[in-house]
Chain A
Amino acid sequence: MKVFRYTILLCVLMLLFGADMKTKIMLINSSGTVEKYSVAQEEFKNAIPQPVIEIDLSKEKWKLSDIEDRLYDEYPDLIYCIGTKAYLIANKYVSEKKIIFSSIINWRRLPLTKNTYGVSNELHPGFQITLFRYIFPKVSKIGVLYSEEYNGQWIRKAKQDAAEMGVEIIGKAVGKSRFTLPTLKALLPEIEALWLISDPVVIPEKQTLLELFAESDAQKVPIFSYHPTFTEYGAALVVSVDNPTTGRQAAAIAMDVLNNAKVKEKVELPAGSHIILNLKKVKAYGLQYKEMALGSVNQLIE
């Protein structure tokens, strides 16, 4: 009889501990009103095989102390943070927990710990050049304006990747913002396309951006870039991060971390791309593109 009682007690304890041992996942979205954030949130939730506790920092008038309380009340095993604000809060209060971030521009400026994982917001340069080449096989000389301070290392990597594909990257360093346009004017005659990258020295303000687009347009040099907004200014091709894939990728990292599986890179590069092809500009500049590649284009502008 005693053995039977102990067995029952053991089973009850196992059930209780079993419930406690179930991992708890929290998601903090910096702002649910930002489409790319909400898309990543939805995809993350769909890919995770268990309920996720959600906090949308734009929904309620959150005080920092409220969020702190919520974090300690829930005390999740893993937190997925979408956007910088969400990450900084989670890192401030529960940095001892596993934290995964995504959708953050320039993640290297973040305070990181041994528990930080993430999906960066920048595609591998080789990934982008491959897609440029895939759509425009005849473009082989691409110009880039960059500052040594922000993109010196990046441009060397990009040149190396491009060379493997028979593409020459002609990089011109810009020391100060006032030199952006003169440097561009000197660069344009040498190149078949301009690759516009994120660099605060090269483009410190909107006016510089507008002038840069106007000058390239006057010389009929197409601009390839990294953000969908640039199509409004006349970019011929935009290769950006696919936000739904980012959410799924964050979920894959979350499952790896929770299952103690091997994690190759703590911060992964995005695995999915979103392509916008501006056929108006392609036609205006007389560019030849590979029609078969249209199956890979997400949005056509005609």
Chain B
Amino acid sequence: MVMNDVEPKITRFSGVLLFIAAFLLLTAIFNVLSPAADKTMIYFYSSETNINNFKSLKMEFDQYLSKFGPYEFQPFKGREAFEKHVKGRKNCLLVMSSWHYRHIYKEYSLTPAAAGVRNGKKYQKRLLVAGGAALGIDAVKTERIASSSSIDHTGSVLKGMLKGKFKANILRILTVPKDIDALMSVGFGMSNLALTTKNSLDELTIVNPVLCKKMKILLEGDETLLLILAVPEGFEKADHKVVSIIKDMALNPDGKRKIRMLGLDGWQALDPSDMAQLES
């Protein structure tokens, strides 16, 4: 008799335990899966500048974006890993160089949402700078070229600037972390040539005019757009709020400071001529 009284209690108790266990399991599965599913990711990789402040970038952008909703910033060090990761993803935004965008936008079905702005301009001009008056264009065949862009990007830009005079594969490129490093490596004699931008040369001229006087511009490239904020095909309209949040970062002092970590001071919409340049 006693046994019969206890048995249903045990069964009920086991049932409750089972229910709790199942609930916890489901919650855990939901928690593991939901952040990735719910969050809109902003993936970043720049072939143009060797940005290696990933930890700070991620922390600063995550802190800023989390105020507006479930958004997460994810910087990438290498092009290959970036492209592999973003392929086929819809619930994300991409921030990349305009050079990179031009190379992959068809394959990845991307549309530009905005272009970065620096000193009020969407465009920048690439320069090949030499350390010393004696060096001519032939120096690219023998001298070391410092550049903060990836090897691929540097080779491609120089190929365009040199208009087929030399093969890109003979170039001796030394990748440095920043544009200003590339220029200073010419100024202080670690390299004889630097691929840089007019912006960086202008900034260095303000800081160290004597050093810049020792340099000369060998070649000027075409103007190209700065970083591009791109949206993949299938990106849901409801998520376009995040595009506005990023585009409006410059209106907020904290946001402005964050985008300056990308070397920008704002974002601007693209007009038809920008689109033509970008997707030509």
Per the bound structure, the CA–CA distance linking A263 and B175 in Å amounts to 18
Q: What DSSP secondary structure best describes chain A's contact surface?
A: mixed
B175 surroundings in chain A (CB, below 8 A): 245, 248
Per the bound structure, the CA–CA distance linking A299 and B180 in Å amounts to 16
Known: A292-B260, A295-B260, A297-B53. A126 touches B174 (CB 8 A): no
Instruction: Check: B40 CB closer than 8 A to any chain A CB.
Output: no
Segment 194-220 of A: residues with Cβ below 8 Å from B: none
Which one, A124, A164, A255, A294, contacts B261 given CB within 8 A?
Answer: A294
Do A272 and B181 have beta carbons less than 8 Å apart? yes
Known: A249-B174, A252-B174, A299-B53. A271 touches B207 (CB 8 A): no
Per the bound structure, the CA–CA distance linking A297 and B262 in Å amounts to 10
Q: Give the total of B residues in contact with A, Cβ under 8 Å.
A: 42
Instruction: Check: B265 CB closer than 8 A to any chain A CB.
Output: yes
Instruction: Check: B176 CB closer than 8 A to any chain A CB.
Output: yes
Per the bound structure, the CA–CA distance linking A299 and B207 in Å amounts to 22
Which one, B52, B190, B211, contacts A126 given CB within 8 A?
Answer: B211
Do A134 and B262 have beta carbons less than 8 Å apart? no
Do B181 and A300 have beta carbons less than 8 Å apart? no
Do A298 and B188 have beta carbons less than 8 Å apart? no
Known: A265-B189, A268-B190, A294-B260. A134 touches B207 (CB 8 A): yes
B176 surroundings in chain A (CB, below 8 A): 242, 245, 271-272
B184 surroundings in chain A (CB, below 8 A): 124, 127, 130
Do A131 and B180 have beta carbons less than 8 Å apart? yes
A249 surroundings in chain B (CB, below 8 A): 174, 190
Do A126 and B56 have beta carbons less than 8 Å apart? no
A268 surroundings in chain B (CB, below 8 A): 190
Which one, B142, B188, B256, contacts A269 given CB within 8 A?
Answer: B188
Instruction: Check: B274 CB closer than 8 A to any chain A CB.
Output: no
Segment 256-277 of A: residues with Cβ below 8 Å from B: 261-262, 264-265, 268-274
Per the bound structure, the CA–CA distance linking A126 and B56 in Å amounts to 27
Segment 126-174 of A: residues with Cβ below 8 Å from B: 126-127, 130-131, 133-134, 137, 164-165
Known: A164-B208, A297-B261, A299-B53. A126 touches B177 (CB 8 A): no
Per the bound structure, the CA–CA distance linking A164 and B142 in Å amounts to 31
- The listed residue with most B CB atoms (<10 A of its CB), out of A165, A265, A294, A295, is A295
Known: A273-B178, A296-B178. A252 touches B172 (CB 8 A): yes
B260 surroundings in chain A (CB, below 8 A): 291-292, 294-295
Which one, A137, A164, A298, A300, contacts B177 given CB within 8 A?
Answer: A298
A165 surroundings in chain B (CB, below 8 A): 207-208, 210
B263 surroundings in chain A (CB, below 8 A): 292, 295-296
Instruction: Check: B159 CB closer than 8 A to any chain A CB.
Output: no
Instruction: Check: B79 CB closer than 8 A to any chain A CB.
Output: no
Q: Mark A214-248, 1 if CB is under 8 A from B, else 0.
A: 00000000000000000000000000001011001
Per the bound structure, the CA–CA distance linking A297 and B185 in Å amounts to 17
Q: A83 CB to closest chain B CB, in angstroms?
A: 21
Do B208 and A271 have beta carbons less than 8 Å apart? no
Instruction: Check: B204 CB closer than 8 A to any chain A CB.
Output: yes
Per the bound structure, the CA–CA distance linking A272 and B264 in Å amounts to 21
Do B257 and A294 have beta carbons less than 8 Å apart? yes
The chain B residues found within 8 Å of chain A, CB to CB, are 49, 51-53, 55-56, 60, 142, 144, 146, 172, 174-181, 184-185, 187-192, 203-204, 207-211, 256-257, 260-265
A-B contact pairs, 17 of them (CB 8 A): A126-B187, A130-B204, A133-B207, A165-B208, A242-B177, A245-B181, A249-B174, A255-B172, A261-B142, A268-B190, A271-B181, A271-B185, A272-B178, A273-B178, A273-B181, A292-B203, A298-B56
